[in-house]
């Protein structure tokens, strides 16, 4: 495809670098960071340091086990260290809103100088906002702008940015996967990204307990409404019996969603206090699980949303089924 | 990356087309066709027809349900129809050896004019052999050679070739995923390939029975040698009880392979005649499951191989474990 990848934003790069000269910069990501958050933080932090701008990746939470190795020797301040870190300028990456950096950090940050993101709901809360809404990942935006400006990135930077793109596109399966995504990934490989070692770290280092948890989870799957709705359940007891942790259940909802007849898939997860956390997935955006989650005080994307409910999963289940039935009827009629 | 993608082979394309002029061509794939086989057959068949060479995709077996829709209006002769099809010239795609087209078709085919493939064990059995061993998929070879020769492909061709690449790289996770793979996929999107709709057909239309089969399969997983070897089993009875078919088990071996300690994963599948079919996966290419499969008369890639054995899985199991132990020891010592 013809470059530049991000003509709208890439020419602003020299001015951004100029504005950051001699400043201490924090590249802040969102709480409960995922692959794209980590990749964007690590990528931008390294690029700025390479340009002699003292920069640190700052996050209220540490990175999950399967992505932490991509950080390499990047300067980071995570968890407790994040709250003690001093800096002159804040840049947020992959944060759809200011409050996504977490309350604790938000009290330290008066203004955000630059916001680099790709969420359609982003209200553009910074002075400089680079939020191309057709981008599949924030890491795609950072990589594209770097390449547009002829910046030569090192292998750790390339791999971190690659991981951001690979995870946020669901390994190139989601609708936001464009030609630009593939072209940028090709160029990242030229700079040292390795899709195979990335995949090994991301997907092939599962705990044995995850298999046990999956077995227990699959046993809970129930189908309703002529198999249009599939509901699975998770409980603290299941995690304990399998010797596994919360992140081991990542992606479990897809076992329900991927059944051909299923329009809406859901995991009702019993919380330690007995309440219910609901995770919703829709096969197509017209099923609007953000609205369905909204009935219960939650929200999210059209195809992926969530909510919390004070009742136990057991007593909430019939309420949820009934509301989903109504919702699907409304959607089909419209 | 600099083009041409396949300099070694692409300049042979005009001569191939010349040799096929006015002939009836069969593009033959391997038995039990997968995504790369289908994509290569559909892709090459359409490209040749576009050049006014009467070509049909011929396969002893029909394509599995989840890939059949990518065929579109491509001329095909599958199953029974394949055996009755007459043609002047045979081209094989994605066949690592001549016998992969199946006995029934092999008796009809005296010589193979061209062999397009990417398996390292391919003995180059045709007159023209295009077998770049660093290619991730046969569809990558066909797409690359087409683009090198400036051929404009239609959206159905682009999507079929994309599906071949996406499936044979495990959604861009395997070691053969190179910059060329991403560049070619980007170019396929330019011609109408759609990764999202491909993924929907490939992964989100599973039968309910697949979940049942997965549960039964996960229950068979056994770990050996300090969890370095994981073996799962499948039997005709399991398929029947789950109301599912052979292709529903696609990818099951990865549940074993993805456990962090596992170096070699295997499914031993009981055949209807009581014999055993083994599917092997290695986490790293140095574990050479092609060699391990070779001990039992099979073969394949360094990380993915297979074999057949006359014994039942039950009596074969200890033999297999012992041989794998020896093999892993040899690998670790080398």
Determine the pLDDT at residue A25: 98
| Chain B CB contacts of A170 below 8 Å | 199
Tokens 């046969």, located at residue: B138
pLDDT tens column, B111-120: 999 999 999 8
| Chain B CB contacts of A174 below 8 Å | 196, 199
Contact B218 A214 (CB under 8 A): yes
Helix (H) or strand (E) holding B141: helix B138-148
d(CA A265, CA A101): 29
Instruction: Tell how strand B89-93 and strand B25-28 pair up.
Output: parallel
- Please give the distance of CA B133 from its chain centroid, rounded to a whole number: 14
Q: Which positions ≥6 away from B100 have C-beta within 8 Å?
A: B30, B31, B92
Alpha helices in B150-278 (DSSP H): 155-168, 179-190, 195-203, 208-218, 236-242, 253-257
From residue A46, alpha-carbon distances to A11, A13, A53, A137, A160 in Å are 20, 15, 9, 18, 10
Do B132 and B1 touch, CB atoms closer than 8 A? no
**Mean pLDDT across chain B:** 95
Interface size, chain A vs chain B, as Cβ–Cβ contacts under 8 Å: 117
CA max distance for chain A: 63
**Sequential DSSP letters for A274-312:** S-EEEEEEESSGGG-HHHHHHHTT-EE-SSEEEEEESS-
Q: Which positions ≥6 away from B18 have C-beta within 8 Å?
A: none
Nearest CA in chain B to A186: B179
d(CA A209, CA A203): 14
| Chain B CB contacts of A214 below 8 Å | 218, 255
Contact A173 B173 (CB under 8 A): no
**Full pLDDT tens readout for chain A, 334 residues:** 668 999 999 999 999 999 999 999 999 999 999 999 999 999 999 999 999 999 999 999 999 999 999 999 999 999 999 999 999 999 999 999 999 999 999 999 989 999 999 988 899 999 999 999 899 999 999 999 999 999 999 999 999 999 999 999 999 999 899 999 999 999 999 999 999 999 999 999 999 999 999 999 999 999 999 999 999 999 999 999 999 988 889 889 999 999 999 999 999 999 999 999 999 999 988 999 999 999 999 988 888 889 999 999 999 999 999 999 999 999 999 8
Contact B172 A171 (CB under 8 A): yes
CA distance B172 to chain A (A): 7
| Chain A CB contacts of B258 below 8 Å | 203-206
Q: What is the pTM of this model?
A: 0.91
From residue B198, alpha-carbon distances to A189, A286, B29, B149, B237 in Å are 24, 19, 21, 26, 32
d(CA B147, CA B179): 15
**Omega prior to A67 cis, within 30 of 0:** no
3-class secondary-structure state, position B58: strand
Tokens representing residue B113 in the block: 């004019």
B7-203 under CATH 3.90.1640.10, yes or no: yes
| Residues of chain B where predicted confidence (pLDDT) is lower than 50 | none
- CB-based burial, B276-306: b 16+ in 10 Å, e otherwise: bbbbbbbbbeebbbbebbbebebbbbbbbbb
Determine the pLDDT at residue A59: 98
Do A230 and B210 touch, CB atoms closer than 8 A? no
- Within chain A, all domains assigned CATH 3.90.1640.10 are found at 7-203
Determine the pLDDT at residue A248: 87
Q: Which positions ≥6 away from A4 have C-beta within 8 Å?
A: A10, A144, A148
B279 pairs with which residues across the strands? B267, B306
d(CA B195, CA A296): 33
The C-alpha R_g of chain A, in whole angstroms, comes to 21
Contact A195 B172 (CB under 8 A): yes
d(CA A53, CA A290): 40
d(CA B211, CA A258): 10
- Within chain B, all domains assigned CATH 3.10.310.30 are found at 208-333
What's the CATH number for B208-333? 3.10.310.30
Q: Which positions ≥6 away from B116 have C-beta within 8 Å?
A: B40, B44, B91, B92, B93, B94, B130, B131, B138, B141, B142
Determine the pLDDT at residue A1: 60
Nearest CA in chain A to B265: A204
């Amino acid at each position: 495809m013809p470059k530049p990848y991000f003509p709208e934003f890439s020419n602003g790069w020299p001015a951004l670098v100029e504005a950051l000269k001699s400043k201490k910069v924090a590249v802040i990501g969102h709480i409960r960071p995922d692959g794209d958050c980590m990749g964007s933080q690590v990528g931008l932090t390294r690029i700025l340091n390479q340009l002699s701008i003292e920069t640190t990746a700052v996050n209220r939470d540490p990175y999950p086990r399967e992505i932490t190795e991509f950080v390499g020797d990047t300067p980071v301040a995570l968890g407790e260290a994040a709250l003690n870190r001093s800096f002159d300028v804040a840049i947020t990456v992959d944060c759809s809103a200011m409050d996504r950096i977490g309350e604790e950090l938000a009290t330290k940050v008066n203004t955000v100088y630059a916001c680099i993101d790709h969420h359609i709901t982003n209200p553009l809360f910074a002075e400089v906002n680079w939020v191309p809404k057709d981008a599949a990942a924030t890491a795609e935006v950072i990589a594209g702008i770097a390449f547009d400006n002829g910046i030569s990135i090192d292998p750790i930077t390339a791999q971190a940015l690659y991981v951001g793109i690979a995870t946020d596109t669901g390994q190139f399966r989601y609708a936001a996967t464009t030609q630009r995504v593939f072209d940028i990934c090709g160029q990242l490989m030229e700079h040292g990204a390795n899709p195979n070692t990335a995949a090994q770290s991301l997907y092939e280092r599962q705990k044995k307990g995850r298999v046990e948890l999956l077995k227990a989870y699959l046993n809970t799957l129930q189908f309703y409404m002529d198999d249009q709705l599939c509901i699975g359940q998770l409980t603290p007891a299941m995690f304990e019996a399998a010797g596994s942790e919360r992140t081991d259940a990542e992606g479990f909802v897809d076992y329900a969603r991927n059944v051909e007849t299923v329009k809406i898939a859901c995991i009702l997860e019993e919380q330690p206090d007995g309440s219910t956390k609901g995770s919703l997935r829709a096969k197509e955006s017209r099923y609007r699980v953000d609205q369905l989650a909204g009935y219960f005080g939650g929200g999210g994307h059209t195809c992926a949303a969530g909510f919390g409910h004070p009742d136990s999963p057991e007593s909430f289940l019939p309420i949820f089924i009934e509301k989903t039935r109504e919702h699907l009827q409304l959607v089909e009629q419209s």
